Every structure is written in C-alpha cells, then in structure tokens.
C-alpha cells in the first residue's frame, strides 16, 4: 500500500536526500530557555515560557499537552515561524536560543531563516483542510518548493512530485497532482501535506498534531508512514499531540507541556511506567485502553488550563491537582532531573520511591523564571 517504487533508485533521488549529516556536530536540535509571548489587548500572553530541550539526529521527541498548553506555539517558535500581528495579537516576542545542527537560528535575519525552512526544518500542520491552499492544485503545492528551493526544472519537479506522492501511499499520483485539496479525503490530504513537508529532504520534521481529525485506522497509517519516512531519511522528528496514545511506541522521548512549560520529560517507556508529575498521570489516565472494561470511559482532567495572560503564583497545575498542598500554591516548582534523563517539575512527585534516584539528589533546575 505504501509503495515506495522508484524512491531509492530513481534519478531524482539525488535531489531529495540531504547530504549526510556531519557526525562531528552536536545534537540536531538544542533549545534553551525559549520564550514566546504575545502582546494582546488583555495583556501579555506567555505562550511558551522557558522551554529547554534537545533532540538527537534521527530520533523522535513527543510533545504532549492539552489544547492551549503551548505545544503548537513551541513548534512554531523552534522554527521561528511565528504568526504576524493580527487583530488580537499586537506583537510577538521571542527570546532564548534554538540551535539547529550547531547553528543558532534565533539570531538569523528573516531572509536567512527562510533558507532553513523547508529544506532543513519542515512542518506538518494540524489541519490539512486549512493548511493546503484551496485554490491551488496539489501538484503545484508540491512542485513549487522543489522548483524554487531546489532549483529543479519543470519536468524534474513533476517527476519528483509523483515519486513523493507514491512514497506517501497515494495511488494514481498522476491524477491527484491535478486535484484540488477539497477533492481529496482527509487522510489523503494529510498524506499530501506530508509529501510537501518532506519534499526538500528536511533533517528535522515538526509534526503538529498530524493525525487530529482522522479516524483511528487512518491515524495509525499516517503515524506508521511518518515513522517509515523518518527511518529511511534519518530525519529527526518532533511529534506534537494532545494524545499520549500517539507517542506510545513511536517517540523515543516524550515531554509533557502544561501552560507554556515542560512539566515532565523522560524516555517514553519510562514516562508511561513512572509518571512523576500528577498532570502526566492524569493525561495517562485519559488514554482509552483496549483492556478497559466495556463502558468505562477514560477519565477527563477536571478544570481548565490557566489563563496565560494572568497567572497565579505557584505551580500552574495546582488549581487542578488532586495532590496540591500549601507549597504548590506558593512557589513554582523548578524542572529538576531525577536521573537517567527523567526531568519533572513537581514539589511532591508521585512514585518517586520507584525512581532510580532519591529526591534529595535532584540535579540543578532548568527552565525556571
């Protein structure tokens, strides 16, 4: 079904695979103290509030959080693809550093940053219905970056687009090149979007809720497709989702975001086995499981994420946390390391006795205000 015919052998392949990554350089992505805030009529909204993370080549990082936790804005901020000012956004400010393959992206002027987009870092957007231009044929939406960014001629670009469409599992690619987005099904649109994202052979793929709105079977197909493409092209990937079920077994590491911050990060299996932060635990409890008895419903998390324009002191999750105590409402817990790369931000972590290190030996804090 996902035929990759001609993918590795065709003449066009040379354009697609980025030159081998220089192993002497450090990790693919290093984010340090990243902050993004919007000035709005209601005040300053800190959408991303001091996020630090790293991602190695070819690896996958899951970023999980509820709607409004800032995960989409984090992905945009990493890329530097921030929305222009609008009616309710008077201005955008970003600080902190983003290093991509050793190069600092935050200081780049727009024209140079643009050279990185598409060819080095690409993004798969949440909703293919709105992210594909409704009045431009699918073919041109794929070939335009090949032609403008990779300097391909018309026929080369078309050939490559055909190969890309079949590589993302679209049958009869020749016909679909001439289609408009609305003529495709939801799953096909998402495949087209992925084809566009990988067209110029990026080394880092930011996938923002790539399967939201698709039915479960198609979700699995799209996620498998992303994993296959990632393996073939040794891309690093950031998989942003509200559904912990999506990152299970697919992300090497998973970071949980809440109110603009990372509140817990660990190897995915570790996070699922030993969540330390009550919010992560609540998210885990919200995953529907096959093993659940018929009729049991996943537990939703009561309450709503805080208003980012007016934050109360203390832990941001405290108002919704069943274990919150006095200290949680007074002081903001720092993000600390519990050994083996398991980071969390909580004064009274869960099941810490199961973790490798006792709480007293916690490493230095990061990402504090």
Partner 1 sequence: MRERTDGGVLLAYLAKRLVELTAVVFLISILAFLLVHLLPGDPSVAILGPFDTPSARAEVLRQLGLNRPLPMQYLTWLGNVLHGNLGRSFLTKQTVATTIGEAFPIDLELVVVSQVLAFAVAIPLALVAARRPNRALDRLATATTFGMLSVPAFILAVLLALVLAVEVHAFPASGFTHLSNGVIPNLKSVALGSIALAAGSVAVYFRLLRSELISTLQEDFITMARAKGLSTRYILMRHALRPSSFSLLASAGINIGSLLTGAFVVEYLFQLPGIGYQIIVSIDSRDYLMVQGMALVVAVAYVLVNFAADLLLGVLDPRVRRG
Hey, is 33 helix, strand or coil? strand
Closest distance to partner 1 from the beta carbon of 130 (Å): 4
Give the nearest distance from C-beta 132 to partner 1 in angstroms: 6
Tally the C-alpha atoms within 13 A of residue 90's C-alpha that lie toward its C-beta: 7
**Residue 192 interacts with partner 1 (CB under 8 A): yes or no:** no
Is residue 196 a contact point for partner 1 (CB under 8 A)?
A: yes
8 or 130, CB closer to partner 1? 130
Print the binding letters for residues 41-80 with partner 1: x by CB under 8 A, - otherwise: --------------------------------------x-
- Side by side, the strands of the sheet bearing 60-64 are 121-124, 204-208, 236-241, 60-64, 253-258, 261-267, 343-344, 336-337
Tokens of 287: 């995953």
Binder of partner 1 out of 8, 26, 43, 83 (CB under 8 A): 83
Q: Residues near 329 by Cβ (< 8 Å), separated by ≥ 6?
A: 312, 313, 314, 315, 318
Binding segment toward partner 1, per CB under 8 A, in 58-66, 178-186, 231-239, 343-351: 178-186
Instruction: Tell me the CA distances in angstroms from 199 to 27, 149, 195, 294, one per residue in order.
Output: 23, 10, 6, 44
CB of 128 to partner 1, least distance (A): 9
Is 322 a binding residue for partner 1 by CB under 8 A? The answer is: no
71, with CB counted inside 10 A (0-12, 13-18, 19+), is buried
204 binds partner 1 (CB under 8 A): no
The 91-100 sheet, strands edge to edge? 43-55, 29-40, 91-100, 103-104
Chosen residue from 50, 62, 70, 118 binding partner 1 by CB under 8 A: 118
Q: Which residue lies nearer to partner 1 by CB, 209 or 264? A: 209
* Nearest to partner 1 of 142, 315 (CB atom): 142
Q: Measured between alpha carbons, how far is 288 from 244 in angstroms, rounded to an integer? A: 10
Shortest separation between residue 145's beta carbon and partner 1, angstroms: 4
Site map 127..166 versus partner 1, x via CB under 8 A: x--xxxxxxx-------xx--xx-----------------
Residue number, 25 or 90, with CB nearest to partner 1: 90
Among residues 19, 8, 13, 20, which one has the least CA distance to residue 152?
13
**Beta strands 343-344 and 261-267, pairing class:** antiparallel
Which runs of consecutive H residues, i.e. helices, occur in 168-208?
Answer: 173-177, 186-198
Contacts with partner 1 by CB under 8 A lie at 79, 81, 83-84, 86, 114-119, 122-123, 125-127, 130-136, 144-145, 148-149, 179-180, 182-183, 193, 196, 200
């Amino acid at each position: 079904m996902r035929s990759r015919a001609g993918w590795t052998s065709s003449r066009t392949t040379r354009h697609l695979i980025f030159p081998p990554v220089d192993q002497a350089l450090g990790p693919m992505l290093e984010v340090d103290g990243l902050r993004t805030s919007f000035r709005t009529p209601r005040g300053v909204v800190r959408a991303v509030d001091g996020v630090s993370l790293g991602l190695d080549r070819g690896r996958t990082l899951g970023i999980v959080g509820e709607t409004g936790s800032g995960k989409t804005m984090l992905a945009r901020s990493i890329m530097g693809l921030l929305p222009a000012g609008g009616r309710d956004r008077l201005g955008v400010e970003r600080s902190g550093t983003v290093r991509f393959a050793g190069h600092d992206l935050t200081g780049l002027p727009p024209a140079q940053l643009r050279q990185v987009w598409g060819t080095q870092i690409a993004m798969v957007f949440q909703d293919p219905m709105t992210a594909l231009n409704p009045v431009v044929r699918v073919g041109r939406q794929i070939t335009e970056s090949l032609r403008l960014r990779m300097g391909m001629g018309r026929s080369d670009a078309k050939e490559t687009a055909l190969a890309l469409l079949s590589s993302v599992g679209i049958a009869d690619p020749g016909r679909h090149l001439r289609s408009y987005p609305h003529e495709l099904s939801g799953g096909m649109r998402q495949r087209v979007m992925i084809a566009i994202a990988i067209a110029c052979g990026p080394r880092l793929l930011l996938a923002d809720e790539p399967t939201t709105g698709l039915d479960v079977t198609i979700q699995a197909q799209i996620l498998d497709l992303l994993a296959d493409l990632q393996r073939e092209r040794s891309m690093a990937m950031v998989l942003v989702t509200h559904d912990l079920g999506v990152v299970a077994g697919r992300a090497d590491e998973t970071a949980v975001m809440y109110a603009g911050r990372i509140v817990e990060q660990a190897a995915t299996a570790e996070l699922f086995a030993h969540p330390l932060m009550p919010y992560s635990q609540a998210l885990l409890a919200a995953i529907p499981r096959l093993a659940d008895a018929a009729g049991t419903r996943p537990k939703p998390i009561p309450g709503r994420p805080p208003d980012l324009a007016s934050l109360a002191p203390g832990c941001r999750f405290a108002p919704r946390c069943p274990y919150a105590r006095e200290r949680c409402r007074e002081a903001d817990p720092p993000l600390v390391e519990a050994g083996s790369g398991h980071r969390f931000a909580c004064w009274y972590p869960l099941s810490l006795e199961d973790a490798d290190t006792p709480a007293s030996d916690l490493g230095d804090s990061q990402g504090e205000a």
